[in-house]
């Protein structure tokens, strides 16, 4: 077990560095908004996790790399101690990027020494696995955060040096029907899951239909051009107030200078590909579109029940890919394109219990004023997606690769 964990540790830590490789030192140090973090901070915080929760407990004669890092790179763990204010992470010009990289190398060397001794207790092995999954979450955040950062630059710089190829024509939207009944949802088995995916439990689901694919840019264009953002009848009250206050008329990265729609992506600014899934929409936008389309969003229990047996967790590029021609009676794009908003508030499953200590702050304390998203996105690292994964964000969040899958009651 230690050998396999050690190999995964090396692979996942290396992927973080690969994600940062196309960026300049300046790119890595800037925070574009309070919800995002500098790339430098992501690289330091993921190292902080291993130092704080594993090395501090297991390393003989532990000494921190730098005492101040305990505060600077603590995210939200009140049980660990003080934290640097999240909106001010971009002001941390010191430590420099080179020192953060030295910190990563130091933590890696110490972790290698620990793993070489094969001294992992079951508790430490579980913490190591959690740390690796945690780093994969930050890898996705690195891509979404740097996309937001680069989108604010008038030069419209591309993160990726490769051109984005046109998607195949999207299949005609179909609907897959599911009978109602009592079904089990939640994680089962011996594989990793976050605590919010448990315990597995029974839930009654009414009969429903689920769209065979995600909503496309072309379909969302019709909503925009039909005045969807200007019709209060389509919006929840809070969503309408948000749209009006922010003067929103389109998804986050859409642009129109009078010569047609364009979209900013990690590949730079390009003509909007109508066949790809619409992305970077908030819960409020997804809900309004669904109402305009004569449908609704699925609940997370409906989504998970429908996803049973679908194990295509792959992704192909750093932008939501089209589904291409497919069987209208089969579900596609459950994974690897966009996270999919559900109607379900982020709340604990029946009999859920938070873990003791600071690790218990990982998920449970955020179960308020957020909605669940299911699936995975084009930015989700390989091996990180699974059917029971519960992602969650506030209703106004749209800098993540969040999209729309429609549902209907029968």
The domain spanning residue 294 has which CATH number? 3.90.1580.10
* 224 and 358 co-located in one domain: yes
Whether residue 280 sits in one domain with residue 359:
yes
Average pLDDT over residues 224-252: 98
Higher pLDDT, 14 or 122: 14
Q: Are residues 393 and 245 in the same domain?
A: yes
Residues in CB range of 255: below 8 A, 6 or more apart = 261, 262, 263, 264, 269
Q: What is the largest CA-CA distance in the chain?
A: 66
The pLDDT value given to residue 327? 60
In a domain, 190, yes or no: yes
Q: Are residues 224 and 314 in the same domain?
A: yes
| Gap between the Cα atoms of 267 and 141, Å rounded | 17
Residue 168 lies in a domain: no
One domain, residues 181 and 315: yes
The DSSP code sequence of 100-162 is HHHHHHHHHHHHHHHHHTT---HHHHHHHHHHHHHHHHHHHHHHHHHHHHHHTSTT---SSSS
Is the domain of 337 the same as that of 375? Answer: yes
Residue 255 has pLDDT above 90, yes or no: yes
339-345 and 402-403 strand pairing: parallel
pLDDT digits (tens, 9 = 90+) for 375-394: 999 999 999 999 999 999 99
The predicted structure's pLDDT at residue 190: 85
- The residue out of 116, 151, 186 marking a domain boundary is 151
Q: What is the pLDDT of residue 307?
A: 96
Residue 162 lies in a domain: no
The parent domain of residue 146 ranges over 2-151
Question: 82 and 199 share a domain?
Answer: no
State residue 269's pLDDT score.
96
**pLDDT > 90 in the chain, percent:** 86
How distant is the alpha carbon of residue 344 from its chain centre?
17
pLDDT of residue 90: 96
pLDDT at 2: 77
Does 169 fall in a domain?
Answer: no
Domain boundary among 151, 166, 197: 151
pLDDT at 350 exceeding the cut of 70? yes
Q: Is the predicted pLDDT of residue 119 greater than 80, yes or no? A: no
The arithmetic mean of pLDDT across residues 299-308, rounded, is 97
Instruction: Give the burial class of 305: count Cβ atoms within 10 A of its Cβ; 0-12 exposed, 13-18 middle, 19 or more buried.
Output: buried
Q: Average pLDDT in the 182-205 region? A: 95
- In the predicted structure, residue 220 carries a pLDDT above the cut 70: yes
Q: What's the CA gap between 160 and 356, in Å, rounded?
A: 42
**pTM (two decimals):** 0.96
Number of C-beta neighbours around residue 175 at 10 A: 16
Question: For the chain, what is the domain count?
Answer: 2
Is pLDDT larger for residue 17 or for residue 358? 17
Q: What is the DSSP letter of 318?
A: S
108 within a domain of the structure (yes/no): yes
Same domain, 138 and 243: no
Q: What average pLDDT does the chain have?
A: 95
User: Do 183 and 136 share a structural domain?
Assistant: no
Determine the average pLDDT of the residues in 334-340.
96
Residue 157 lies in a domain: no
* Residues 181 and 105 reside in one and the same domain: no
Residue 167: inside a domain: no
Residue 56 scores a pLDDT above 90: yes
Domain for residue 161, yes or no? no
Q: Is the pLDDT of residue 1 over 90?
A: no
Q: Which of 118, 151, 184 is the last residue of a domain?
A: 151
Pairing of strands 261-265, 254-256: antiparallel
- What's the CA gap between 125 and 133, in Å, rounded? 12
User: Bridge partners of 268?
Assistant: 265
Q: What is the mean pLDDT of residues 14-30?
A: 98
How do beta strands 201-205 and 181-185 pair?
antiparallel
Give residue 285's pLDDT: 98
220 and 272 inside one domain: yes
What φ, ψ does residue 127 adopt, rounded to 5°? Answer: -65, -40
CB atoms within 10 A of CB 36: 23
Residue 350, token pair as written in the block: 């029946």
CB atoms within 10 A of CB 395: 20
Instruction: Give the Cα separation of 368 and 197 in Å (integer).
Output: 16
Res 110: pLDDT:
96
- pLDDT of 328: 63
Neighbours of 282 (CB within 10 A): 25
Residue 58 host element (H or E): helix 56-58
Residue 330: what pLDDT?
83
Instruction: Say if residue 323 is in the same domain as residue 217.
Output: yes
């Amino acid at each position: 077990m230690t050998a396999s964990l050690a190999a995964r540790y090396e692979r996942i830590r290396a992927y973080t560095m690969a994600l940062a490789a196309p960026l300049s030192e300046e790119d890595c140090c800037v925070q574009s908004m309070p919800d995002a973090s500098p790339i430098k901070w992501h690289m330091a915080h993921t190292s902080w996790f291993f130092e704080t929760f594993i090395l501090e407990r297991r390393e003989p004669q532990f000494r921190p790399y730098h005492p101040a890092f305990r505060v600077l790179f603590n995210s939200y763990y009140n049980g660990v101690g003080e934290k640097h204010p999240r909106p001010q992470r971009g002001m941390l010009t010191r430590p420099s990027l080179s020192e953060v990289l030295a910190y990563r190398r130091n933590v890696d060397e110490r972790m290698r020494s620990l793993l070489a001794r094969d001294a992992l207790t079951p508790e430490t092995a579980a913490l190591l696995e959690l740390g690796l999954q945690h780093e994969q979450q930050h890898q996705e955040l690195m891509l979404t955060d740097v996309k937001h950062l680069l989108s604010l630059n008038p030069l419209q710089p591309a993160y990726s040096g490769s051109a984005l190829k046109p998607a195949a024509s999207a299949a005609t939207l179909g609907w897959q029907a599911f009978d109602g009944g009592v079904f089990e949802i939640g994680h089962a088995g011996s594989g990793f899951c976050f605590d919010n995916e448990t315990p597995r439990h029974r839930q009654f689901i009414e009969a429903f239909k689920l769209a065979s694919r995600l909503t496309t840019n072309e379909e969302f264009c019709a909503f925009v051009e039909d005045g969807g953002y200007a019709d209060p009848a389509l919006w929840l009250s809070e969503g309408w107030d948000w749209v009006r206050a922010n003067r929103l008329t389109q998804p986050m990265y859409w642009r129109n200078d009078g010569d047609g729609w364009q979209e900013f992506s990690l590949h730079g600014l390009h003509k909007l590909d109508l066949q790809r899934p619409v992305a970077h929409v908030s819960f409020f936008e997804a809900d309004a579109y669904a109402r305009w389309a004569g449908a609704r969003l699925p609940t997370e229990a409906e989504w998970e029940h429908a996803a049973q047996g679908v194990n295509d967790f792959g992704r192909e590029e750093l932008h939501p890919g089209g589904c291409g021609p497919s069987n209208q009676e089969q579900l596609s794009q459950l994974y690897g394109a966009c996270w999919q908003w559900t109607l379900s508030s982020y709340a604990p499953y029946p009999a859920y219990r938070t873990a003791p200590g600071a690790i218990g702050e990982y998920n449970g304390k955020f179960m308020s004023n957020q909605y669940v998203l299911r699936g995975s996105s084009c930015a989700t690292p390989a091996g990180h997606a699974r059917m029971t994964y519960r992602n969650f964000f506030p209703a106004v969040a749209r800098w993540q690769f969040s999209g729309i899958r429609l549902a209907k009651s029968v």
